[in-house]
Amino acid sequence: MLVVGKLLTQGRGLAPALLRRAATVELDWDVRQKSRFDATDSQGRHLGVFLARGTVVRGGDVLVAEDGSLVKVIAAPQPVLVITPCAGHGTPFDLVRAAYHLGNRHVPIELKPDHLKIEPDHVLADMLRAMHLTVVAQDAAFEPEGGAYGAHGHSHHDHAHGEHDHPHG
């Protein structure tokens, strides 16, 4: 077993040539939200992944094994519900309302400008349809938000905001 103990967010700092030559591993959301898991990479190597507790692995991240080899993570397609405004009478604001209601239920949700994605749940699908949203089952990569304090979430150290009036406590 090849032990992996380090993660490079989106392969930052690595030369593109190294990323092109790296092995890959496809992982669904259930696995990527764990800090310890086993997997098999594209070269057939058995990986034992041991990351810091609370680490979330995203598609595009790069795992670094104890021997220095790199493994690029691909978000595997999985069953999801894709939520869009009703084509007949919906508006983009309907997605904001849906995100609010899903957030109140602490549902992992992927936010996009024109759609939302959640894991399959017939009760939530019925609620969203009652809100006049279109809900379609698909197999697709799932990259839910990390939350205000989640790993790989919004970082004020990644970019400048300029003037703004909220505290950073």
How sure is the predictor about 84, in pLDDT bands with cuts at 50, 70 and 90? very high
pLDDT over threshold 50, residue 151? no
pLDDT at 158: 42
pLDDT at 11: 96
How sure is the predictor about 160, in pLDDT bands with cuts at 50, 70 and 90? very low
Q: Which CATH class is domain 2-75?
A: mainly beta
Q: What is the 3-state secondary structure (H, E, C) of the chain?
A: CEEEEEEEHHHCCCCHHHHHHCEEEEECHHHHCCCEEEEECCCCCEEEEECCCCCCCCCCCEEEECCCCEEEEEECCEEEEEEEECCCCCCCHHHHHHHHHHHHCCCCCEECCCCEEECCCHHHHHHHHHCCEEEEEEEECCCCCCCCCCCCCCCCCCCCCCCCCCCCC
pLDDT at 146: 82
As a whole number, the mean pLDDT across the chain is 89
Q: Which CATH class is domain 78-140?
A: alpha beta
Portions of the chain given CATH number 2.60.260.20: 2-75
pLDDT over threshold 90, residue 64? yes
Q: What is the mean pLDDT of residues 120-149?
A: 92
